[in-house]
Amino acid sequence: MATRFENGIVVTLGENNRVLWNATVVSDGELIAAVGEAAEMKRRFPDANPIDCSGKIILPGFICTHHHFYSTMARGMGIPGEPASNFVEILERLWWKVDRALDEEDILLSAQLPLIDCIRNGTTTVIDHHASPAMRDGSLDMLEDAVRQAGIRASLCYEVSDRNVAGGGVAENKRFIKKVGKGDGQIAAMMGMHASFTLSDATIEECVGIAREAGVGCHIHVAEDAADREDSIAKYKMPTVKRLEKLGVTGEKSIFVHCVHIDEAEMDLLAETRTSVVHNPESNMNNAVGVTPLLKLLEKGVLVGLGTDGMGSDMLAQMRCAYLLHRLANRDPRVAFLEAPQLLLGNNALIAERQFGIHLGEISEGRPADLAVLDYQPPTPLSEANFLGHLIFGLVDATVDTTVCKGKILMKGKQILSMDEARIAARSREMAPMMWKRLQELE
Ligand SMILES: [Zn+2]
């Protein structure tokens, strides 16, 4: 059934961004049937179900190109002993225990909660990176079920690493990639890998072989901390990107997450191989690992997107963090005004297109009906010419009222329709202390 999201300010984005006041987006099935002036849309689609969007702005649903759903239950957890003093200690003391402590129900709950958060924040597409060594086989199916129930789109993968067992997770990826095949536009699959410093050449070669045969990309953390670069140089006599390129991990469908500690030659390799990079500014700041050379990567023509790395699901907040970080890091108030929005609004859509085979991030006829409707009364004139100013200084703090994915309304009037948020959160509060206890008992 068709729906008219009417009387709002529509920002189409895409190649020819248009800002349309008192406008309507009509969805029919999973796609956008028309966009235009409200009265005209009402005349053309009189039978469509009307949703009033006055006082609101309608944008394409947001995309997160690197997330970790499984990190949810660590929120508020105490870690015994001295605070971790560097990145490797953060992994050893926190994340490599969290993932091992997750049981079956924890995996489900810790996917459902960030999925709800995605809907709350208008994030309708996610590229996730999952790890749960104690409950590994079949974990991606559980995530898939949760994603379908939530109603958003997700590309899923399992984080292969040699740290618990050699090649752990290869079979789970292989099975899931085969099951998903070319995907249905809602679920896609990648070959997930942790990072160069936890992967042997043999494991990487096996992963690349599976990915190549299936025609999917690899999703891997790259040079997040200097430790990853130093490890690669010490063991393999070459920096991280070079090692991964030599082993065939690069490519148009592959995602290299972070790329904080890379040199110019590695940046050139990323550009030459058309490998995407995903920048996660909040996570990098939280782990105190350094600053991704974002402006230089963009200058070299590398496709850089924006992710949260599990810090949350609010992509507008992440965009503003990137904007602020790169102004400060470059000590230059002229930069990042165009670049930070470009990562979120343009580049993330291009990266998602390589995974899902569909053109997201644009409100126009025939495109997927993925929408984020935010409360926003512009205090100054708003047009194509000054949209980015409103985005960075106004919309970033606006509340999402309605979220639509594949033409289906997942949240309306700030009420999540596809999932029972209160029940899921209550159950997670019951389960989390047990997960924390199991974690304390791990070596
Ligand atoms: Zn990550």
pLDDT digits 0-9 by tens, 220-240? 999 999 999 999 999 999 999
Distance CA 294, CA 296 (A): 5
Confidence at residue 250, expressed as pLDDT on a 0 to 100 scale: 98
Distance CA 41, CA 48 (A): 10
CA dihedral 431, 286, 170, 154 (to 10 degrees): 70
Confidence at residue 266, expressed as pLDDT on a 0 to 100 scale: 98
pTM of the model: 0.97
Confidence at residue 1, expressed as pLDDT on a 0 to 100 scale: 82
Confidence at residue 93, expressed as pLDDT on a 0 to 100 scale: 86
Ligand 1 midpoint to CA 318 (Å): 14
Nearest to 369 by CA among 167, 153, 174, 172: 153
Structure-block tokens of residue 149: 């129930």
Confidence at residue 94, expressed as pLDDT on a 0 to 100 scale: 87
Query: Distance from first CA to last CA of the chain, Å, rounded?
Result: 55
Confidence at residue 166, expressed as pLDDT on a 0 to 100 scale: 84
Positions of the chain with pLDDT under 70: none
Confidence at residue 164, expressed as pLDDT on a 0 to 100 scale: 81
Q: Is 153 exposed, middle or buried (0-12, 13-18, 19+ CB in 10 A)?
A: buried
Ligand 1 midpoint to CA 276 (Å): 14
Distance CA 323, CA 393 (A): 11
Ligand 1 midpoint to CA 13 (Å): 28
**Protein residues within 5 Å, CB atom, of ion ligand 1:** 309
> 407 and 124 in contact (C-beta within 8 Å)?
no
CA dihedral 87, 89, 94, 97 (to 10 degrees): 120
Confidence at residue 358, expressed as pLDDT on a 0 to 100 scale: 97
Q: What angle do CA 240, 242, 243 make, to 5 degrees?
A: 65
Ligand 1 midpoint to CA 414 (Å): 29
